[in-house]
Amino acid sequence: MAGHSAQLDAKTLWGGKESPFQTSYGKLMMWFFLVSDALTFTGLLIAYGFTRHDSQDAWPIGEETFNSMPFLGHGYPLLYVALMTFILIVSSVTMVLAVEAGHRMDRKGVTKWMIATVIGGFFFLGSQAWEWSHFIHGSEFGKIELNDGSVAIVKGHFGEINSFTVIEAGKKHKAGAVLKEDLMHQFQHAAEAGHLEAGKIHLADGSVAKINKAADHEMKLIIKKDGKLHKVGGKEIKGKQAEKLYYEALYSGDKHRVIYGANMKQNEYGPQQYAQFFFFITGFHGFHVFSGVMINILILLGVLSGTYHKRGHYEMVEKTGLYWHFVDLVWVFVFTFFYLL
């Protein structure tokens, strides 16, 4: 918004005294910082693309990994991320409205829209925390190494585990006892350690129990690593055949056949780098959002105490606004390259 200075000719602009950009020092430096920060994110996303290109079909697709909604469960591909994108866009809009109000010296307007922006920022951070927790925690099926050596991720609805019936007594549980607590956790732990065999679970106290589990629905295996029989990008394995292959492997009694969730060493979604890029890119962006919210709060305090009003202009709001829009801008790219493609 160059305003009335638009008429200045090049000679005046570049002749000294005037800023050739007709901008204050602070705003110019904010722009330079944003350019360098944009280059950092560009580097990260290009590194992501490079690594993904190496792994080809083994790389997970966004809608395979991110298809859950809070309170609603599975089967909503990309909806949650779209919601997060929308939240961030809306908070960017409230920010630009705060800047506009500032240009009219409307202190009430600036306060109102800054509060809305801070709330939007917290909403986004909360969403990201939920998504991280969901990503780390993983699905109920996990990723499994099938008997032919191929590795598959599993989609579908996991039949609930109703109880364990103890058939061989251990130190703690007597034969015939029916266990009803902490079932899923024990089940997954046993699966990772190779303590599941033919529908039976070896519990930590040495007892053996029968697993009473409801049937799974619409199970589907997606191969992520070639084995002797099943290849990446081959025919989809569905239904009864998928269940047979999955449980053969799960109840094989071998260690490390199944992986649940994600950490820095392994993850159930695809190649190891996938989770590392997820943590780093969304984490780095999330940290930007977090610092953005903190800066917005500081600026809001400045607005409330009337510091900027006394100064005669709300340029501080505009400068933080630039940073906040930048965070939104980065998310637009992360959304496309990480989730959509």
Partner 1 sequence: MERDDLIEYSLHAHHDDAKGKQIRSKIYKVTLLLTIVTIIEVFIGATIKQSSDWWSAVKITFILLTLLKAGYIVMVFMHLGDERPYLRNIILIPYFIFVAYLIFIALVEGTAVGSVWKTMWQ
When binding is defined by CB under 8 A, the residue of 7, 9, 11, 50 that contacts partner 1 is 50
75 binds partner 1 (CB under 8 A): no
Nearer to partner 1, 109 or 159 (CB): 109
Residue with tokens 């449980």: 247
CB of 59 to partner 1, least distance (A): 10
Nearer to partner 1, 32 or 287 (CB): 32
CA-CA-CA-CA torsion sign (222, 127, 53, 265):
negative
Size of the site for partner 1 (CB under 8 A): 68
Choose one: 40-48, 182-190, 248-256, 292-300; the region binding partner 1 (CB under 8 A): 40-48
When binding is defined by CB under 8 A, the residue of 29, 46, 72, 229 that contacts partner 1 is 46
Residue 17 neighbours by CB under 8 Å, 6+ apart:
none
CA-CA-CA-CA torsion sign (92, 94, 98, 100):
positive
Nearer to partner 1, 191 or 299 (CB): 299
| Helices of type H across the chain | 10-13, 25-55, 62-65, 79-103, 107-137, 183-193, 239-250, 272-277, 283-304, 307-311, 315-334
Choose one: 43-51, 158-166, 260-268, 279-287; the region binding partner 1 (CB under 8 A): 43-51
- Taking residue 72's Cβ as centre, other Cβ atoms within 10 Å add up to 10
C-alpha 312/C-alpha 103 separation (Å) is: 10
336 binds partner 1 (CB under 8 A): yes
3-state secondary structure of 267: strand
69 binds partner 1 (CB under 8 A): no
Dihedrals phi, psi of 312, to nearest 5 degrees: 100, -5
Nearer to partner 1, 22 or 263 (CB): 22
When binding is defined by CB under 8 A, the residue of 12, 29, 40, 43 that contacts partner 1 is 43
176 binds partner 1 (CB under 8 A): no
C-alpha 271/C-alpha 154 separation (Å) is: 15
- Name which of residues 102 to 141 contact partner 1 (CB under 8 A): 103-105
Beta bridge partners of 201: 196, 209
Residue 337: is it exposed, middle or buried by C-beta count within 10 angstroms (0-12/13-18/19+)? Answer: middle
When binding is defined by CB under 8 A, the residue of 5, 12, 162, 307 that contacts partner 1 is 5
CB of 121 to partner 1, least distance (A): 15
Nearer to partner 1, 103 or 189 (CB): 103
11 binds partner 1 (CB under 8 A): no
33 binds partner 1 (CB under 8 A): no
When binding is defined by CB under 8 A, the residue of 12, 15, 28, 306 that contacts partner 1 is 28
CB of 234 to partner 1, least distance (A): 11
218 binds partner 1 (CB under 8 A): no
When binding is defined by CB under 8 A, the residue of 12, 40, 49, 160 that contacts partner 1 is 49
Q: Largest alpha-carbon pair distance within the chain?
A: 95
Give the long-range contacts of residues 146-149, CB within 8 A, separation 24 or more.
146/221, 146/227, 146/229, 146/230, 146/245, 146/246, 146/248, 146/249, 147/245, 147/248, 147/249, 147/252, 148/227, 148/228, 148/229, 148/230, 149/227, 149/228
The site for partner 1 (CB under 8 A) is made up of: 1-5, 13, 17-24, 27-28, 31, 35, 38-39, 42-43, 46-47, 49-50, 53-54, 61-63, 77-79, 82, 85-86, 89-90, 92-93, 95-97, 99-101, 103-105, 233, 312-313, 315, 318, 321-322, 325-326, 328-329, 332-333, 335-336, 339-341
